[in-house]
Amino acid sequence: MPILQIRQAIRDAMKEEMERDERVFLMGEEVGYYNGAYKCSEGLLDQFGAKRVIDTPITETGFAGIGIGAAMCGLRPIIEFMTFNFSAVAFDQILNNAAKLRHMTHGQFGVPMVFRGPNGAAHMLGSTHSQAFEHFYAHIPGLKVVAVATPYDAKGLLKTAIRDENPVLFLESELMYSVKGEVPEEEYLIPFGQADIKRPGDAVTVITWGQGVPVALKAADLAAAEDISCEVIDLRSLRPMDEAAIIKSVKKTNRAVIVYHGWPNGGVGGDIIARIQELAFDDLDAPVLRVCYEDLPMPYAENLENLILPSPERALEAVRRVAYKR
C-alpha cells in the first residue's frame, strides 16, 4: 500500500474528485502557480488549468462568497483558507449564507462546498494565528465539521466532503502535513459521524481529534508503561459526532479524558462531557477531564507556547487522576 503524507493524500483526493466531476474547482490564496502554501494543490493548475484552480487576492470574504454563489448555481467549490484563522474575516459568509441558505430558501438552493485549510496552533505564530476554529463552526446548524490526523482519514473524508450536499469545514494542521501513513490505491470514502479507535484499551477512554490525536497516542504509550490501558478514540467528524462510539467506550472503561486544541470555555470538549453525563452518568467512576489550551491568548515565545498547548505529559496526568493512580 502506498505511503503518503497528509498533504499528498489531500492533493490526491482533490485531483480524483476534479477528474470525476467537472463541477469541482479549487479557489484560494496561492493554490495555483505556487502549488499551494503547503503544497496541497501541487500539479493541479497544470492539469486542470486556471478556470478550475483559481488564485485569489487576500480577500477571504470575497472568495468565500464567490464560492457560496457558485455552489448555489450547481458547482462544487473547494475554498482553501491559508489558515482557518483567516476564515474569521469570512465568518459572516459561512455563518449566515453557507449554513442557512438551504433552510432559508426551503431547499430551493443547496450549498455543496468545502472550506479547507490548516487549523489550530502551528509553531510560534502568536495569538492571532493559533486558534482552533472547530469550536466555532461545530456550534452552527447547517454545517458539517471534520478534523483529520492521518493520510488515510484525510483522503477518505475529503472525498466524502466534496460529494456532500452541504457545506463542510475540513480542518487540517500545518504541523501535520508531513505525517505519513498508508493510503489504498483503490477508491474509498469514509462516512461522516464515524469515529475510529486508534488504540484499543479498557481502563480509560481518551477522546480526541485533529492535532490532539498524536498527543493522546503518546500519552497512551506513557500510561501503558504504568499499567493503565487507554482506549484512544479519534472522532474525525465533530458535526455529526459519533456519540454511540463515545458512550460504548465509556461504558466499558468507566472513565474519560478529552484531549484537544482549543480553549476550555464553550468548546467541543464541554459538549462531549454533557453527552457523557446525559447518556452514561451511572457508568462513570470518575469526573470527565479535559486537556486543552490554557484559557489565555497564545503567546509567541516558544517556552510560553509549550506551557499553553496540550502535551502528552498533561494528558498522562489527567489519565492518572481519573484512574486514581496519582
Query: Does residue 84 have a pLDDT over 90?
Result: yes
pLDDT of residue 173: 97
Query: Does residue 29 have a pLDDT over 90?
Result: yes
Same domain for 279 and 170: no
Catalytic residue among 17, 29, 80, 129: 129
Residue 191 covered by a domain: no
Answer whether 124's CB lies under 8 Å from 300's CB. yes
Answer whether 149's CB lies under 8 Å from 126's CB. no
Query: Does residue 5 have a pLDDT over 90?
Result: yes
Q: What is the mean pLDDT of residues 289-318?
A: 97
Same domain for 226 and 138: no
pLDDT of residue 203: 98
Same domain for 154 and 33: yes
Residue 326: pLDDT band (50, 70, 90) is confident
Residue where one domain finishes, among candidates 149, 182, 215: 182
Instruction: Quote the number of domains for the chain.
Output: 2
Long-range contacts of 238-241 (CB under 8 A, 24+ apart): 238/134, 238/138, 238/145, 238/146, 238/147, 238/209, 238/268, 239/137, 239/138, 239/143, 239/144, 239/145, 240/144, 240/192, 240/193, 241/193, 241/272, 241/275
Residue 224 covered by a domain: yes
Same domain for 167 and 21: yes
Residue 286 covered by a domain: yes
Q: What is the mean pLDDT of residues 82-102?
A: 97
Same domain for 13 and 160: yes
Residue 220 covered by a domain: yes
19 is catalytic: no
Residue 48 covered by a domain: yes
Query: Does residue 53 have a pLDDT over 90?
Result: yes
Parent domain of 167: 3-182
250-298 pLDDT, tens digit per residue, is: 999 999 999 999 999 999 999 999 999 999 999 999 999 999 999 999 9
142-175 pLDDT, tens digit per residue, is: 999 999 999 999 999 999 999 999 999 999 999 9
Mean residue pLDDT of the chain comes to 97
pLDDT of residue 205: 98
204-256 pLDDT, tens digit per residue, is: 999 999 999 999 999 999 999 999 999 999 999 999 999 999 999 999 999 99
Same domain for 124 and 8: yes
Catalytic residue among 60, 134, 174, 231: 60
Residue 190 covered by a domain: no
Residue where one domain finishes, among candidates 154, 182, 210: 182
Residue where one domain finishes, among candidates 116, 148, 182: 182
313 is catalytic: no
Same domain for 239 and 100: no
| Burial (CB count within 10 angstroms: exposed 0-12, middle 13-18, buried 19+), residue 320 | middle
CATH number at residue 145: 3.40.50.970
Q: What is the mean pLDDT of residues 31-59?
A: 97
Same domain for 140 and 240: no
Query: Does residue 103 have a pLDDT over 80?
Result: yes
Same domain for 135 and 241: no
Same domain for 58 and 154: yes
CATH number at residue 316: 3.40.50.920
Residue 188 covered by a domain: no
Same domain for 206 and 176: no
Same domain for 275 and 206: yes
Residue 87 covered by a domain: yes
